Amino acid sequence: MNKKLNITQMVPRLHKVRAKDGFVTLLGIGPMSPMLLQGTLELAKEQDFPIMFIASRNQVDAECFGRGYVSNWDQNDFCSAIDAMAKKVDFDGLYYVCRDHGGPWQRDEERKAELPEDEAMALGLKSYFADIDAGFDLLHIDPTKDPHTVGAVVPMEIVLRRTVELIEKCEAYRAEKNLPPLGYEVGTEETNGGLTGTVEFETFIEKLMTMLDEKGLPHPQFIVGQTGTLTRLTENIGKYSFENARKLGRVTAQNAMELKEHNGDYLPDDILLMHPALGVGSSNVAPEYGVMETRAYLELARLEKKLQEIGVIDEVSNVEQVISRAAVEAGRWRKWMVGETAKLSVEEVLADEKLTKQITDISGHYVFDTPVVAAELKSMLDRLEKANVPARRYVIDKIKHRISEYVTCYNLRGLTSKLMAEV
């Protein structure tokens, strides 16, 4: 794993680079598949920017929790996959492995079970310890997904207490293992986290810094603020608040931290281009890249049928049908839907062709690694490449193209060299 510059060293250098060369916005990328890992690392090599790979507990977690839906990876598998892919594409730049929304109740099943706080906190810590053992660079401490306060804001004092407790125990574990410094991210974009306004945001920072200082604990590098982003279906339906983003950016800068924006998917170029000007330190994007990959596979499936029609190939896969059924049955699409659609049964969805296509588009990436889907995709890709269609490269380049648009808008080109040159 690349450790040339750990994240606690990188962020102060980033501040110096910005003072000289202007503001840049870091990009956090959700690890939706090995294809995305390859595309991201290739692009980062070509355009010389650092990567933050962000993994939720549902995506990547320890064996005892059932692992994650991305390639059935646990933390060690995830880190090894990135390292192996970096070697494959000869990437020698900076990348950081980051826990996104770690902590209690962040596994879907833990939240649905409405576990009591002490049990949920213990499980959250167990997951963090596995992160630390595997070599994660940044831990997002988010204790706000509390099933006991659904529809209400978790009181700030409780969020602060849980946050400090989790950082304290993670630091103790790190020290016990004699491992290098960890980076931390705090706060949440979720409305139940209570940090939706600038006053609450600033108060949270002030109280948190005081509590951390009292215990001799490190300050976080990132704090999540609500800029107005909200992802549903395959669009960002939130109302972006330029004023809020600017105010939050100033507050975090005054505290030597980075404003972290979540749900940065599907934003139009004019808003993406505004990010550096507004002082948004970092933005996370995940499902959008998974959607790009799904669309690429479905395009190849349509091509496969055309090639059969003209006699270039003898048989075709069943990719679209297999992905569609698996995506609908998995049920992860419900979190992205609006209105009553989220309550429909699997049978009701499958009976509606238009809705099935929509759900496949939204959440096909959740099922890439289920055995039946993985086998069908491999069959299609192998068949097309045998027919001289660069199928895998097509998928990778489609992903790269979209990531590249973020890289341009966020002023990221050349950043790694600037960071490494900064003393």
Residues of the chain with CATH 3.20.20.70: 7-287+400-421
Smallest CA-to-CA distance from 365 within 264, 294, 286, 295 is with: 294
DSSP-based three-state secondary structure for 281 = coil
pLDDT in tens, 243-299: 999 999 999 999 999 999 999 999 999 999 999 999 999 999 999 999 999 999 999
In whole angstroms, give the CA distance from residue 245 to residue 262.
12
pLDDT in tens, 384-420: 999 999 999 999 999 999 999 999 999 999 999 999 9
Smallest CA-to-CA distance from 187 within 178, 196, 177 is with: 196
Cβ–Cβ under 8 Å, residues 4 and 95? no
Smallest CA-to-CA distance from 226 within 162, 180, 280 is with: 280
Tokens of 217: 């604990």
Cβ–Cβ under 8 Å, residues 78 and 104? no
pLDDT in tens, 53-83: 999 999 999 999 999 999 999 999 999 999 9
pLDDT in tens, 169-206: 999 999 999 999 999 999 977 655 556 668 888 999 99
CATH class of 7-287+400-421: alpha beta
What sign for the dihedral angle of Cα 380, 384, 389, 390?
Answer: positive
- Of 114-118, 310-314, 342-346, which range is least confident? 342-346
